[in-house]
A = this chain, B = another copy of it.
Amino acid sequence: MSLFDRHRARLDAALDALARGGVAVAPPTAALDAAAAASFRRLLGSSFALPGVTAPGRLGAERSPWGLDLAVTYPTASPPEWLAAAEAVRADWAATPIEQRVGVLLEALAALEADAGRLAHAVAHTTGQPTAMALESSGPLGFARALEATAQAYAAVKRVPPPERRSAAGDGAPERWFERRWRVVPRGTALVVGTATSPWEAAAAGLFASLATAHPVLVKPSPSAVLPLALVVAALRRVLVEAELPADVVQLCVDTADAPVTKALAREPAVGVIDYAGGRAFADWLDRNAHHARLHLETPGLNPVVVDGTDEPAALYRHLALALVRHAGQTVTAPRVIFVPGDGIEAAGVRTTFDGVAQGIAGAIEDLLDEPGGVADRLGALRSEAALEAVRAAQPLGRTLRESRRLEVPGWPRARTFGPLVLATNAGRERDYAEPRVAPVAFVVATDDTAESIERAVHGVGLHGAALARVHSVNDHVLEAAADAFARSGVPVSCNVTGGDEPGTTLATTGHLGLRDPDFVAGRFRVVGVDRAVEP
């Protein structure tokens, strides 16, 4: 049975789900049991082996935000070597039928899912995510995105017409026939640049979309979060080797913070697609310097919240507090700026002051952190000293509503566990509150009224982008106006949603991220006709 046939039912289900709105994020099939922990611990201090890689160079200096020194080293090479290896397999991979490419990807995906416990530990100990979150939400989100990207690519490639015969008559010449064949032409070598906070789930869609559309892919992890992507690349290469396909279709490009290679790779004319999830500064650099490539960028952005009013203040405060506490505000959809009218709101029929709303959110944060597992399973650790520095730098920029302080977590005495800093400021201080930060810092911003809240939020989104906008109101006109304004800027909107999960991540589907754009997958390749004269 071919790999494609083995996973055919799953692909069909994913194609069906696509038509209904997206692949659902499924609960994990693996567990955080002793076996998973042991399997992860065996990696510590090891020389990580990548199937088919014999390069002698080795790099690696990851330290867990929980306090563990990983001491894993990875094989490495240089940009010219990676590019040459990608070029060497290009034609073979492009000539591999889409069914076989998809079969390889779904087989590797199944292997990763079966080993999701180890992947969760690897994510937790490179990013600071709580291990439970890494297993239960960010891992499955990545699996769903990888599956959806693969299914989308399959559908897009299958829309390419079959060969056709046509007559080239006309202008007095005798009738001639030719056959036209359509070729799927990848844009070049693909580059996936990993992030330090969500290495797997942020890379999954771009990686699988580029591979499925016949690109050789260079995976360049953040130096602080190599291990999760190393496990992913190893799983893919293992399946490629078993299928007797060239393993260099996907390569791991490890560098260090001191000698980064990303810009050198991104500047290469042979690189035709770049996926990057991470900080705004590098995204802007790519925008300016990598015109030759199709860019798919996902930056944290403003993620504004417009609070106009609510029937359920407790649920609202808890919902926002959860989003701020979850991985210490480092998720891509974490709210960063909460706009509240300076003269307060109606909350369940009660006039509530600006400070009342702010204290409601701050109090809900305390409650969540005080619950069992509040720190270990929700907050997690800051990915880097730079994130901690961002908290300290923000401190003087507003009136403190809640201080960020280090919280103890049993078993991890050196963990970088800091709760959210919540500051109050006013709408005129855009430079302070809108600065993009991936850190546990949130501003509650006083506006003249909700009209100004929406206007300020849309303005900030125009400057810095956003992965999600939230609006809370009991007034339909307000919800509509805000939804119109944010959607027009390309930002997904969540109106009055107060469930426990964060929209776009664990809650439902892969849909709230760029993957839903029709060109996320289909824009990776061109379709080129090759005509050839034939006998009639």
Contacts and interface: CB of A to CB of B under 8 A. Distances in A.
A63 interface: no
A178 B497 contact: yes
A495 B533 contact: yes
Given A511-B180, A533-B497, A528 B291 contact: no
Interface string A492-536: 111111111101001111011000111100110111111111000
A175 B291 CA distance: 46
Contacts of A491: 528
A511 B529 contact: yes
Given A492-B530, A495-B532, A497-B176, A170 B506 contact: yes
Contacts of A411: none
Contact of A178 (B22, B166, B499, B522): B499
A291 to B, nearest CB: 7
A360 B71 CA distance: 72
Nearest to A136: B170
B492 A516 contact: no
Given A168-B508, A494-B531, A180 B21 contact: yes
A173 interface: yes
A487 B532 contact: no
A280 interface: no
A282 interface: no
A140 to B, nearest CB: 12
A370 B384 CA distance: 78
Nearest to A213: B518
Contacts of A319: 173
A463 to B, nearest CB: 12
A171 interface: yes
Interface stretch (A49-57, A112-120, A154-162, A451-459): A154-162
A500 B315 contact: no
A173 B499 contact: yes
Contacts of A176: 315, 497-500
Nearest to A159: B518
Contacts of A488: 185
A483 to B, nearest CB: 5
Contacts of A19: 159, 161
Contact of A169 (B22, B175, B500, B519): B500
A526 to B, nearest CB: 5
Which of A159, A182, A503, A519 has the most CB atoms of chain B within a 10 A radius of its CB? Answer: A519
The A contact surface, by secondary structure, is mixed
A287 interface: yes
A530 B21 contact: no
A170 B501 contact: yes
Contacts of A396: none
B173 A500 contact: yes
Contacts of A531: 492-495, 497, 503
B516 A527 contact: yes
A377 to B, nearest CB: 10
A179 to B, nearest CB: 10
B170 A487 contact: no
A296 interface: no
A364 B37 CA distance: 78
Contacts of A18: 161
A532 B497 contact: yes
Contacts of A533: 495-498
Nearest to A476: B532
A164 interface: yes
A67 interface: no
B156 A499 contact: no
A499 B91 CA distance: 31
A24 to B, nearest CB: 9
Contacts of A22: 161
Contacts of A529: 492-493, 511-512, 516
Given A180-B511, A519-B523, A175 B483 contact: no
B518 A523 contact: yes
A171 B525 contact: no
11 contacts: A19-B159, A19-B161, A21-B161, A156-B518, A169-B500, A173-B500, A287-B291, A487-B530, A495-B530, A516-B527, A517-B526
**7 closest A-B pairs (Cβ-Cβ)?**
A168-B499, A173-B500, A171-B500, A170-B501, A518-B522, A176-B499, A519-B523
Given A173-B315, A492-B529, A517-B526, 4 more contacts: A172-B371, A497-B531, A517-B527, A519-B522
